[in-house]
Amino acid sequence: MSEPVEFYWGNAHLTGASCDFRSDAITTPSLGTLHAISKATLNDDVYGEDETTRHFEEHIARICGKEAAAFVVSGTMANQLSLCALAQAPCSILADATAHIIHFEAGGVANLSGATVHPVRPSNGHYLTLEDIQKHAAVGPVALERCPVTIVSLENTAHGNVIPLHELRAIKAWTDGQGIAVHIDGARIWHAVAGGGGSLKDLAACCDAMTLCFGKGLAAPIGAAVVGAASLVRRVKQLRQSIGGGVRKVGPMAAAAWQAVLDSFGPGSVDVRGVLRSTHDTARGLAEMWTSLGGKFLRRVETNLIWLDLKDIGVEKAAFNDLACRHKVRVRAPRIVVHPQISPDALYRLGLVFHEVMASKLDIHGSGSDGIASKL
């Protein structure tokens, strides 16, 4: 008989996800998702004949209150195909200057949509408002030599901050009147819902194309979706095929993503599982500890992301990461991401890191040294 083997599925300790605060993309698929894979249909989705995939797309469209949905392999592909489907030259995409579509999608907008990006810094430091958009998107006939803003792209959550629903509604009402399309990058839309920012239907009603990501936080092995009008989703599927993103026996992946949504969010338009909300509580607890030690933040802590103000205490990011490593937790400072698989032990160790960083800061201020980095 062979020895029992350790099984990676559902074992965040074995994969290391349980002590990894770098991203909520670093989560381990559950045994339930593996089981769901075994029950998926295995027909051809490029021919549109795979039942599991088709039913999942219909389900996602329904809980978002949109006509249709397309299943794609990643959040990046979902964003890029949505923007490409909405873009008609000449086109400028107005987005938060820190947006994922600008900084972390390998220049996909330039490559695929032929659009320029118009980066705007939110005046409130957290998310773009109607006022920011009105200031930067020219109103009325645009001079021939200008590139008009025809798409506004918003992230929700915006680096952990929930955009108020009334703001999204005001943006959509105004952009509709201007003939500007709205794209929502919903890689963390589940957290916006769990954080009180509206239901999936409320949020999807504020845009022409919304993306959702199943791998981040929900821990599906792969997968994301685009929801929108039937004509837009058809175009997304055509563009998906054009870049080789049409996957034939994709049913198992759709089944796993569906199971992940059910387990960590629920069957409808609002969160009924509380899994994500509990990560918000954990993040708040960590934030309170950091505050009680005299720490500050770069952004408000509202959901599962914490942005530590390390400059305020003169600590280098690399020094913080190294100290975390010595305590056997992984961090990409200044951001701390809490996901559902973080273990109590990892939280305890991160607490030790917070205490040590702050204690050495006090030492340094007492001894008149010029920075903490050298001490870490």
Ligand X SMILES: *Cc1c(COP(=O)(O)O)cnc(C)c1O
- Which residues sit at the interface with ligand X, rule CB under 6 A? 25, 74-76, 79, 100, 155, 185, 187, 213, 215-216, 224
Smallest gap from Cβ 215 to ligand X, in A, equals 5
Beta carbons of 53 and 251 less than 8 angstroms apart: yes
Smallest gap from Cβ 342 to ligand X, in A, equals 17
Going from the C-alpha of 71 to that of each of 248, 283, 351, 358, the distances in angstroms are 12, 31, 39, 45
Smallest gap from Cβ 107 to ligand X, in A, equals 14
Q: At which residue do the structure tokens 């198992």 appear?
A: 252
Q: Rank residues 95 and 358 by Cβ distance to ligand X and give the closer one.
A: 95
Q: Rank residues 74 and 259 by Cβ distance to ligand X and give the closer one.
A: 74
Q: Rank residues 76 and 161 by Cβ distance to ligand X and give the closer one.
A: 76
**Distance from C-alpha of 364 to C-alpha of 205, rounded to nearest angstrom:** 52
Beta carbons of 59 and 225 less than 8 angstroms apart: no
| β pairing state of 305-307 and 224-228 | unpaired
Smallest gap from Cβ 161 to ligand X, in A, equals 12
- The H or E element that residue 71 is part of is strand 68-72
| β pairing state of 305-307 and 335-337 | antiparallel
Beta carbons within 8 Å of 82's beta carbon, 6+ residues apart = 183, 209, 210, 211, 226, 228, 232, 236
Q: Rank residues 189 and 310 by Cβ distance to ligand X and give the closer one.
A: 189
Going from the C-alpha of 93 to that of each of 105, 117, 138, 145, 284, the distances in angstroms are 14, 5, 12, 16, 34
Smallest gap from Cβ 49 to ligand X, in A, equals 26
Smallest gap from Cβ 345 to ligand X, in A, equals 26
Smallest gap from Cβ 207 to ligand X, in A, equals 14
Q: Rank residues 43 and 98 by Cβ distance to ligand X and give the closer one.
A: 98
Q: Rank residues 210 and 357 by Cβ distance to ligand X and give the closer one.
A: 210
Smallest gap from Cβ 177 to ligand X, in A, equals 27
The secondary structure of residue 212, as a DSSP letter, is E
In the sheet with 224-228, reading across from the earlier edge strand, the strands are 68-72, 224-228, 209-213, 181-186, 149-155, 92-96, 116-120
**Distance from C-alpha of 20 to C-alpha of 291, rounded to nearest angstrom:** 22
The secondary structure of residue 111, as a DSSP letter, is I
Q: Rank residues 74 and 304 by Cβ distance to ligand X and give the closer one.
A: 74
Smallest gap from Cβ 211 to ligand X, in A, equals 7
Largest CA distance in the chain: 77
337 bridge partner residues: 305
Helix (H, G, I), strand (E, B) or coil at 298: coil
Q: Rank residues 198 and 215 by Cβ distance to ligand X and give the closer one.
A: 215
Residue nearest to ligand X (CB): 75
Closest CA to 172 of 196, 154, 190: 154
Tokens standing for residue 362: 């006090």
Q: Rank residues 213 and 308 by Cβ distance to ligand X and give the closer one.
A: 213
